Structure 1
Amino acid sequence: MRVVCFDLGGVLVSVRQDWLECIEAAGLADAARLRTSVHLTEFEGFDRFQAGEIAENEYLEGLAEFIGGIDFAGALEVHNAILATEFRGVLEVVESLHSSQIVTGCLSNTNAPHWHLMHHTERFPAIRSLQFPIASHEIRQSKPEPRAYRTFEVGVQASPDEILYFEDGPANVEAAIRLGWDAVLIDPEDDPAKQMRLALAHRGALL
Structure 2
Amino acid sequence: MIIAILFETSTWFLVDVLVAGTEATHLALQWTMSELIKNPRVMKKLQQEVAEIAQRRSMISEEDLEKMAYLKAVLKESLRLHPSAPLLVPHKSMQDVKLMGYDVAAGTQVIINAWAIGRDPASWEEPNEFRPERFLNNSINYQGLHFEWIPFGAGRRKCPGIQFSVSANELALANIIYKFDVSLPNGIKNEDLDMSEASGLSLQRKSPLLVSVTRRF
Specify which structure has the higher proportion of strand: 1
The structure whose Rg is larger is: 2
TM-score (norm 2): 0.29
TM-score (norm 1): 0.30
